[in-house]
Structure 1
């Protein structure tokens, strides 16, 4: 049975305050026991972090909304969180439990000002999809058009700011925000801005129109069109455009050639958005894509879109070129331009940069030999080296302006891996780096 959502600011505050108190208590207890031996202390610390992570992930998953979305972002960009949070936060990437149908119909009628029966000929009670901020239901208009209706959960919009403040306090009191206050301020300001945009479905409708225009010449990219007469700030109705979820891309229906074509097209859409349009789809998890055996891509959910400053795109391009050329002095300057390294601190050892370059370059090592993403273990190598980031915390900080670029790339990596794409992207990458994409 669907769980009744917490829709009031007071109710959400109480749940988050309880989580904060639990996390702070665990952290304080761990500090008090820190006199034990180093090996035992490390084990206790790991166990304590695991319990804190479970508390946080469980609460965020129940509350949905802004805090669940932050948890999803954190699960994809874990460099500045302890590794114990990885598995717990990854659960938030899965489809959220649905809210009751009467809550959904009440929100639709409140927003559109008419009974559901006057708005739609049919509206499926079973959700088509359920996510952190809203729920999607399939419907038919009175004109006979098949559509999907995206409905924002009640109370999520009004609680966004207080939710974020409470979550930030929980992370701080749990000893998890091991960053300078200035970096934390910038990071949460960026997340708040993106969430505010994502909570505005009228803004998403404009984003959809923008990306349909971006990809108008790409006959293999399909983006659903919005029905404005059935849409508001908290309800978004779009044409139904269906394809196969990633789980349905199986050898029985998709040849390896078709999968590889999809892989190249995913790379092209990602690179076009970054290097040509300077505007990226900021929530690229598998649930926001669908596929067809002819190699077509279907893109969903344009609530989280990051418009990039040209100088940030250029700095990102320069950083990739410097890494490919193994010019680590130039790479260091590029990271300063991106805001990823503190300018008035000494440059990091070039061996440190070389270590990361040698891990991340592997899919692009050859222009001719396909890389088998199904066998990729970059995520494990990155996870193994992530603790080294904490040794350089005085010199490194989250690159706020490019965090959604990193998120886009990480999301596409997982999709390519799950699809089992075999492709050599080096030549395509170099064309984009040279401005020829």
Structure 2
């Protein structure tokens, strides 16, 4: 990874993205498909923080132009893998002679991500394991990449996001990416989450193999599964079981442990042959302080009551909406769009009418961002929840959200 060449390429991609946004602001037309193809090709090769951000953005189905979102989504499943020779060097630095440890290591990865790629292997004892291998040299270029990423995020000002909020959001993303560099810490997290959720029979978290883990290699027992993005045509009973488990787990994460899995792209989730939800990656988990969760629940409660004045009061409590003049009409539209998902009884997340209203609402929200001014940590939290929501949509979930949230209102107010 040559830092100077990476910087030039990232600057070029940023310039091209900025040009497309400028054309749309001036009333012109941007070729979002061509931009998406260029970003896919460039970021797929460069890897690192910019690719991570693009993967996150691809989950924002309600915000990006569809052609751009489609191309960025390919980064979740078709990213160009790093040559085996480079990965082999990292493995040999960890294990020495690979043949002394493994009977076989597949040279072709079955998954390529932003910070590393995943290879199957068989130990000398005959056990199939998964090796998540960090891209070589990533630590050396990370800070340079983050500097370019900060420049790219300044484009958010065109969506009327205040610079102070963008800076705070960047710092939170940067801290998460730095934490992801230490695979030994991720192994410890995995072990902790396995113990935490051992009572959920419908949830599977792979076991880390401590003796085979190192700072740049995470070794886990192999857990076969069908990726969530491939479950759209699966048996309905399987999809509903996975969706229910996903909703149960997210609720417990938030309201019992005050945390949230912050990397909800579909490649991190699967269903095993028993219809259990498998979560492969815990590299990005964000804390959700109880005060923040309580304030967000008060905003949701006001939204479901279709009370725009109470919604505005909740926004002020969150630390947003610092300007003059509450956007009451926008609050009413938001309540009308969100309300159907929380109506009494089982609601269908596959209902395209709900998606349409949410998609129509998003541009209005971003147009009012200079008045709403949500705190940076709320931006990240809301976009993460949005990613989990779209996973439920992909599963065609049918859930009684009213029954789920009503007890939580009382819980967070205590």
Q: Tell me whether the two structures share a fold, i.e. TM-score over 0.5.
A: yes
Greater displacement, 78-87 / 200-209: 78-87
Matched, 1:59 2:46: no
- Listed one character per residue, the Cα deviations across residues 333-364 of structure 1 (whole Å, up to 9, x for unaligned) are 3223334x233x12423221121121122222
- Do the aligned partners of 1:278 and 1:310 also contact (CA within 8 Å) in 2? yes
User: How far has the Cα of 1:260 moved from its partner?
Assistant: 2.1
Q: 1:348 aligns with which of 326, 341, 353?
A: 326
User: How far has the Cα of 1:218 moved from its partner?
Assistant: 0.9
Q: Extract unaligned runs of 5+ from structure 2.
A: none
Greater displacement, 384-393 / 100-109: 384-393
> Do the aligned partners of residues 122 and 10 (structure 1) sit closer, same or farther apart at CA in structure 2, a change above 3 Å counting?
same
Q: For the residues of structure 2 that align with 1:70 and 1:176, how far apart are their CA atoms? A: 18
Matched, 1:185 2:167: yes
Matched, 1:329 2:312: no
Partner residue of 1:208? Answer: 190
Per the normalisation by structure 2, the TM-score is: 0.89
> Do the aligned partners of residues 172 and 185 (structure 1) sit closer, same or farther apart at CA in structure 2, a change above 3 Å counting?
closer
- Do the aligned partners of 2:20 and 2:31 also contact (CA within 8 Å) in 1? yes
- Listed one character per residue, the Cα deviations across residues 250-276 of structure 1 (whole Å, up to 9, x for unaligned) are 76x63x334323222211111111111
Partner residue of 2:91? Answer: 108
- Do the aligned partners of 1:81 and 1:176 also contact (CA within 8 Å) in 2? no
> Do the aligned partners of residues 108 and 176 (structure 1) sit closer, same or farther apart at CA in structure 2, a change above 3 Å counting?
farther
> Do the aligned partners of residues 335 and 82 (structure 1) sit closer, same or farther apart at CA in structure 2, a change above 3 Å counting?
farther
Query: SS of the counterpart of 2:370?
Result: coil
Matched, 1:291 2:271: yes
> Do the aligned partners of residues 151 and 73 (structure 1) sit closer, same or farther apart at CA in structure 2, a change above 3 Å counting?
same
User: How far has the Cα of 1:23 moved from its partner?
Assistant: 4.9
Q: For the residues of structure 2 that align with 1:398 and 1:72, how far apart are their CA atoms? A: 22
- Listed one character per residue, the Cα deviations across residues 186-244 of structure 1 (whole Å, up to 9, x for unaligned) are 11111101111122212211221232122121122110111111111211001111222
Matched, 1:308 2:284: no
Query: SS of the counterpart of 1:277?
Result: coil
Greater displacement, 284-293 / 274-283: 284-293
Q: For the residues of structure 2 that align with 1:283 and 1:236, how far apart are their CA atoms? A: 17
> Do the aligned partners of residues 249 and 391 (structure 1) sit closer, same or farther apart at CA in structure 2, a change above 3 Å counting?
closer
Partner residue of 2:336? Answer: 358
Q: For the residues of structure 1 that align with 2:196 and 2:218, how far apart are their CA atoms? A: 21
Q: Extract unaligned runs of 5+ from structure 1.
A: 1-6, 35-40
Q: For the residues of structure 1 that align with 2:21 and 2:380, how far apart are their CA atoms? A: 30
Q: 2:252 aligns with which of 264, 268, 272?
A: 272
- Do the aligned partners of 1:139 and 1:149 also contact (CA within 8 Å) in 2? yes
- Listed one character per residue, the Cα deviations across residues 29-51 of structure 1 (whole Å, up to 9, x for unaligned) are x59xx9xxxxxx52x2x326665
Query: SS of the counterpart of 1:284?
Result: coil
User: How far has the Cα of 1:404 moved from its partner?
Assistant: 4.2
- Listed one character per residue, the Cα deviations across residues 60-116 of structure 1 (whole Å, up to 9, x for unaligned) are 232111110011222334788778754443333334221111111111112x15122
> Do the aligned partners of residues 25 and 382 (structure 1) sit closer, same or farther apart at CA in structure 2, a change above 3 Å counting?
closer
The structure richer in helix per residue is 2
- Do the aligned partners of 2:318 and 2:374 also contact (CA within 8 Å) in 1? no
- Do the aligned partners of 1:27 and 1:175 also contact (CA within 8 Å) in 2? no
Q: How many residues align?
A: 412
Aligned positions of 1:114-263 closer than 5 A: 114-170=96-152, 172=154, 176=158, 178-246=160-228, 249=231, 254=235, 256-263=236-243
Query: SS of the counterpart of 1:241?
Result: coil
Q: For the residues of structure 2 that align with 1:80 and 1:371, how far apart are their CA atoms? A: 23
Query: SS of the counterpart of 2:139?
Result: coil
- Listed one character per residue, the Cα deviations across residues 361-392 of structure 1 (whole Å, up to 9, x for unaligned) are 2222122xx32223335444333222223432
How large is the RMSD of aligned CA atoms in angstroms? 2.9
Aligned positions of 1:397-408 closer than 5 A: 397-408=373-384
Q: For the residues of structure 2 that align with 1:390 and 1:83, how far apart are their CA atoms? A: 17
User: How far has the Cα of 1:143 moved from its partner?
Assistant: 2.4
Greater displacement, 257-266 / 398-407: 398-407
- Do the aligned partners of 2:13 and 2:39 also contact (CA within 8 Å) in 1? yes
Greater displacement, 230-239 / 18-27: 18-27
Query: SS of the counterpart of 2:411?
Result: coil
- Do the aligned partners of 1:66 and 1:164 also contact (CA within 8 Å) in 2? yes
Per the normalisation by structure 1, the TM-score is: 0.85
Partner residue of 2:9? Answer: 15
Q: For the residues of structure 2 that align with 1:314 and 1:304, how far apart are their CA atoms? A: 22
